[in-house]
Amino acid sequence: MSKPFYVTTPIYYVNDKPHIGHTYTTVLADVLARHHRMLSERVYFLTGTDEHGQKIEKTAAGRGITPQQLVDEVAPNFENLWQQMGLTVDHFVRTTHTAHKAVVQARFEELRAKGDIYKAEYEGLYSVSDEAFVTETQAKELQAQGLAHQLVTLKEESYFFRLSAYEHWLIQLYERWPEFVQPEFRLNEVKQFVAPGGERGKLQDLSISRTSISWGIPVPGDEKHVVYVWFDALLNYLSACREGHWPPQVQLVGKDILRFHAIYWPAFLMAMFRQDGDDLQGELPERIRRQLPETILAHGWWLMGDTKMSKSLGNIVRPKELLHFGSDAARFFLVRDMQIGFDRAFTFEAFMDRLNADLANGLGNLAARSISMLQRYRGGAVPVPAVFDDLDAEIRALIARTAPEYLEKAGRNDFNGALETLWTTLRALDGYIVKAEPWKLAKDEANAAKLDTVLAQLFRALRMTAVLAAPVMPDLCQLLWESLGLPGAVADQRFADLMIEAPAPAPVADPKPLFARIDKEAAMTEIEALKAAEAAPATPRLDVPELKETIDYDTFAKTDLRVGLVLEAEEVPKSKKLIKMKVDLGFEVRTILGGIKEAYSPEDLVGRRVVVVANLAPRPLMGIESHGMLLAASDNNSKPYLIAPPEDAQPGFIVK
């Protein structure tokens, strides 16, 4: 049975629109998933949405809809985006799924029965935006940032998780299995947090239920409580795990949510997997370690200059701005430019420079030159090298060590470093062409063997690049693969079968341009336009009642709609709304009153074609009998817009 590889992203809050941060994490997870498939592992890639909590409840209330309606409306934003980007997600979990809720409730009960969850009184400062009770230090930090308004005092009966009891095991986890948190300096932060006598002191038990919120998973048997969002959210990794995949190998998180994943999450799991007789003050059993995630991989943040991206600053980079350059380009940049763990400033300038240098020039140029030389000098057939001078031998050795070095770095989740290795080799190959001067070798038959070697080595390096970089740029590498005359899908290749020196099975094809050079100025104008469209105020939501009950055709057909022509119009004295019109219906002229004064003046109406409900029983309005009604479109807040048949529709025409 092949090795399982279970990779997760955080589940995203649905009250936010996807941005570069979400895109980065999910793309990185996709790169990991694809990479491990090419290592012949059994991959399971999970992402999803976090849909409970006070923020959702409030936003929904503000819009006059139920929380369920709200989450059903916005969760697909994320799912669709990942689909559009071609991410190979195996499962999209939503915390409002019945299966998830059932697991959360079952685990809650189990821990309550074990004594790891108990009920007590809780009073504290609660940060609405973080959905968490905050310590005094955190409260001070928020106040210093001018965010005091986000804090409220909450006092309520609450269920607690016995986090303090797991401190000893947690510390052992970090000491004995330091790979649990990567990169290392992020582990140190976690240790600081938990260490006895560390700056934060001993771990406190954790409140994991609320009575002040109703949008959540009810505590079984005590339904005025709902499960606190982090116990609910973190359990998604368990509830949505596919059989045979537990535990996760890599769980990607941003630095801001590392604490939840590196402290609470393993403690919850320790509590679930411990057995009677396990000593919480003794050694953490290996058996339990094996049930915990192998690695929590914490990345830094994409920043704008030195500052955080935020809605209020209006400096958020959106996925569609990145995708404007193509999905592979966005993937390449995000993975290549961010060193995992550290923050990174984003600029479109750097983004475009990277793509031009590495994809349009770099790889694109090298592939185009190499393939066209193979065609020009060898009719597309890839030669077998026989002679190696010093330069050739140096390049041969470089190509041979690139793949293991790339795979070693990728194996440590360092794709930024792995791509750097690969591109260093590609640059050396450019240098190889310059030094070997194949165009000169081609002029003299005596140099044929030497030329064969140069061309063959270029081919081998490109074939290797297509395979190694396929998880990062699936489409571009497939194109390169086909240009090299190679059969099938590059994604179906296995790194273990990467035989760099194997002969080519077929002649190369015509070189296809891999990546068109970006005209930076023109691209920036297009990006500004996308940003402007994003910033434009959204059209206000429609305020319309629910759809009326279904009727059959015969019922509808009883309504006789006709085209009318307004001959005369005048305001009805003392009425705020009514206008009296004489309307020609072709077969007769009628008096019709319309409540349209706020939107139309009598002069506007004369000569206008309208749609009339012609068989409506007459009814008196302000003492005048109206013989029909005009059709108009509106919602509860807008002015009426008269339905206008085209100029050549004659009065009396039937509307159906």
Of 227 and 234, nearer to ligand MSP (C-beta) is 234
Q: Which two tokens stand for residue 634?
A: 């509106």
Question: How many residues sit close enough to ligand MSP to count as binding (CB under 6 A)?
Answer: 20
Cα–Cα distance for residue pair 331/472, rounded to 1 Å: 6
Does 21 engage in binding with ligand MSP (CB under 6 A)?
Answer: yes
- Please state, in angstroms and rounded to a whole number, the distance separating the CA atoms of residues 47 and 82: 10
Q: Whose Cβ is closer to ligand MSP: residue 190's or residue 233's?
A: 233
Which residue in the set 5, 10, 217, 474 belongs to the binding site for ligand MSP (CB under 6 A)? 10
Strand partners, 609: 565
Q: At what angle do helices 366-378 and 474-483 cross, to 10 degrees?
A: 10
For ligand MSP, the closer of residues 347 and 638 by Cβ is 347
Backbone angles phi, psi at 564, to 5 degrees: -125, 160
Which of these ranges, 57-65, 201-209, 250-258, 323-331, lies near ligand MSP under the rule CB under 6 A? 250-258
Closest approach of Cβ 539 to ligand MSP, in Å?
25
Question: What is the rounded distance in angstroms from the CA atom of residue 471 to the CA atom of residue 457?
Answer: 23
Q: How far is the CB of 621 from ligand MSP (least distance, A)?
A: 54
| Distance, CA of 28 to CA of 472 (rounded, Å) | 9
| CB neighbour list of residue 245: distance below 8 Å, 6 or more residues apart | 4, 6, 42, 44
Region near ligand MSP per CB under 6 A, out of 102-110, 135-143, 254-262, 596-604: 254-262
Using rule CB under 6 A, residue 165 touches ligand MSP:
no
**Residue 510: count of CB within 10 angstroms of its CB:** 10
Helix pair angle (415-436, 390-411), 10° resolution: 170
Burial of 280 (0-12, 13-18, 19+ CB in 10 A): middle
343, 346, 349, 351 alpha-carbon torsion, rounded to 10°: 80
Nearer to ligand MSP, 12 or 268 (CB): 12
The CA distance from 494 to 37, in Å, is 8
Q: What CA–CA distance (Å, rounded) separates 11 from 5?
A: 18
Both tokens assigned to 494: 């296995």
Stretch that binds ligand MSP, among 7-15, 109-117, 194-202, 289-297 (CB under 6 A): 7-15
Least distance CB 8 / ligand MSP (angstroms): 8
Q: Which is nearer to ligand MSP, 12 or 92 (CB)?
A: 12
Which residue's CB is nearer to ligand MSP, number 310 or number 634? 310
Q: How far is the CB of 150 from ligand MSP (least distance, A)?
A: 15
Among 65, 257, 523, 649, indicate the residue that binds ligand MSP (CB under 6 A): 257
Q: Which stretch binds ligand MSP (CB under 6 A): 145-153, 248-256, 366-374, 427-435?
A: 248-256
Interface with ligand MSP, residue 50, by CB under 6 A? yes
Output the smallest distance, CB 272 to ligand MSP, in A: 16
Does position 187 interact with ligand MSP (CB under 6 A)? The reply is no
Q: Which residues pair with 273 in a beta bridge?
A: none
Give Dmax over CA atoms of the chain in angstroms: 110
Are 409 and 421 in contact by the 8 Å Cβ rule? The answer is: yes
Where do the DSSP E strands lie in 513-614?
Answer: 561-571, 579-584, 589-594, 609-613
Q: How far is the CB of 233 from ligand MSP (least distance, A)?
A: 4
* Binding status of residue 309 toward ligand MSP by CB under 6 A: yes
Q: Per rule CB under 6 A, is residue 195 in the interface with ligand MSP?
A: no
- Which range binds ligand MSP by CB under 6 A, 9-17, 28-36, 502-510, 615-623? 9-17
Q: Least distance in Å: CB of 13 to ligand MSP?
A: 4
Closest approach of Cβ 635 to ligand MSP, in Å?
Answer: 32
Structure tokens of 196? Answer: 């006895």
Q: How far is CA 475 from the centre of its chain?
A: 19
Binding mask 212-241 for ligand MSP (x = CB under 6 A): ---------------------xx-x-----
Q: According to CB under 6 A, which one of 7, 11, 340, 579 is a site residue for ligand MSP?
A: 11
> CA-CA distance, 16 to 13, in Å (whole number)?
6
Q: Which residue is nearest to ligand MSP (CB)?
A: 254
Sign of CA dihedral 362, 367, 368, 369: positive
Name which position in 6, 13, 169, 174 contacts ligand MSP (CB under 6 A): 13
Residue 114 φ then ψ, to 5° = -75, -10
Least distance in Å: CB of 107 to ligand MSP?
Answer: 14
Cβ distance to ligand MSP smaller for residue 94 or 463? 94
Min CB(570)–ligand MSP separation in Å:
59
Angle CA 152–157–160, to nearest 5: 95
Answer for the pair 399, 464: CB distance below 8 angstroms, yes or no.
yes
Cα(581)–Cα(563) distance, integer angstroms: 14
- With CB under 6 A as the contact rule, the residue among 6, 25, 183, 468 that binds ligand MSP is 25
Residue numbers 265-304 binding ligand MSP by CB under 6 A: 301-302
Residue placing its CB nearer to ligand MSP in the complex, 239 or 370: 239
Query: Contact residues for ligand MSP (CB under 6 A)?
Result: 10-13, 16, 21-22, 24-25, 50, 233-234, 236, 253-254, 256-257, 301-302, 309
